[in-house]
Copies of this chain bind each other. A is one copy, B any other.
Amino acid sequence: MTTPTTTSYSGVIPPVVTPLTTDGELDAPSLERVVGHLLDAGVSGLFALGSSGETAYLTPAQQDEVIKVITSVAAGQVPVLVGAIETTTNRAIERARAAAGLGADAVVATAPFYTRTHPPEIDRHFRDIAAAVDLPLLAYDVPVCVHSKLDPELLLPLAADGVLAGVKDSSGDDGSFRRLAIGARAFPGFSVLTGHELVVDAMMLSGADGSVPGLGNVDPHGYVRLHQAAVRGDWAAAKAEQDRLVGLFDIVTAAASGTASATAAGLGAFKTALMLRGVIATNVMSPPMRRLDAAETVVIAAYLDRAGLSRV
């Protein structure tokens, strides 16, 4: 981290998409441009290898390449959080150590998945990862992917014990999030970040320190304005910005009904928008996802125009 006196994270920390070439390999120049695009907008951190970064689709070697590019471009200007998202503890530790060796400023891990687990194991999972890597660790609460919810009753003791430096909440459980945010006030270094890109204003009002919006790849300036408005208490401005971004989010509906998975439709729309904005070269997706086609791209272009975003 650039500011060693604190472990807290705030502001807008987009989960960086992973551009691919037409043969499915990492498109490093495009990724460099994505990072530059985000830094120019004033984001306060970068989350590499999150769900929006197609982390579950990249081999370990590809993941290493992604980390190298992002940390190289970030160059200490903002902290780089890196996902170590693996089924279980030893595998997550292996990826966390790789991230540490490649310049990550913090590590982000989910609960174990694929296997059937329970809270005491999830607790040990985070403790073992934190003990194995000399970097701040954030928990990623994403039950839609891992099918376990991280309750405040699990997270707050880990905050109290210094195991966790924060949480990225993509649970969609706003009541739980509120209870977490209130409980976390006792631990000033513990960051509470929301991944709910459609209600960042509302979650900031609930006590979030910042956001990790996938849509922030497409319009980082909007999310930075939203964050700043919320921080200065101008909730009307924050709401107006959020409402505009909700309209922009309609790009995820561009995929023809039933022809794309939720992931392919959503991440595919982000990539297509970035392509239209001139930031990345292609909207290629990792297999088995398909890329959005020309007709769908036209739809997305219209949504960008409606939201007032420039295109090339």
A interface, over-half SS: helix
A305 interface hit (Cβ, 8 Å): no
Residues of B near A264 (CB, < 8 A) are: 121
Stretch at the interface among A33-41, A159-167, A195-203, A271-279: A195-203
Tell whether A205 pairs with B239 under 8 Å between CB atoms, given A57-B90, A88-B287, A263-B117.
Answer: yes
Tell whether A116 pairs with B144 under 8 Å between CB atoms, given A121-B264, A172-B172, A239-B205.
Answer: yes
Contact with B along A236-269 (1 / 0, CB 8 A): 1001001100110000000000011111100000
User: Count the A residues whose beta carbon is within 8 Å of the partner chain — how many?
Assistant: 69
User: Nearest Cβ distance between residue A171 and chain B, in whole angstroms?
Assistant: 9
Q: How far is the CA of A145 from the CA of B62 in the complex (A)?
A: 25
Residues of B near A173 (CB, < 8 A) are: 172
Q: How far is the CA of A259 from the CA of B56 in the complex (A)?
A: 30
Which residue of B87, B261, B286 contacts A56 across the interface (Cβ within 8 Å)?
B87
Among residues of B, the one whose C-beta sits closest to the C-beta of A245 is B178
A128 interface hit (Cβ, 8 Å): yes
Q: How far is the CA of A239 from the CA of B178 in the complex (A)?
A: 11
Flag if A288 contacts B235 (CB, 8 Å): no
Q: How far is the CA of A201 from the CA of B198 in the complex (A)?
A: 16
Flag if B59 contacts A94 (CB, 8 Å): yes
Q: How far is the CA of A28 from the CA of B203 in the complex (A)?
A: 40
Interface residues, chain A, with chain B CB atoms under 8 Å away: 24, 51, 56-60, 62, 85, 87-91, 94, 112-118, 120-125, 128, 144-147, 172-175, 177-179, 182, 196-199, 201-203, 205-206, 233, 235-236, 239, 242-243, 246-247, 259-264, 286-290
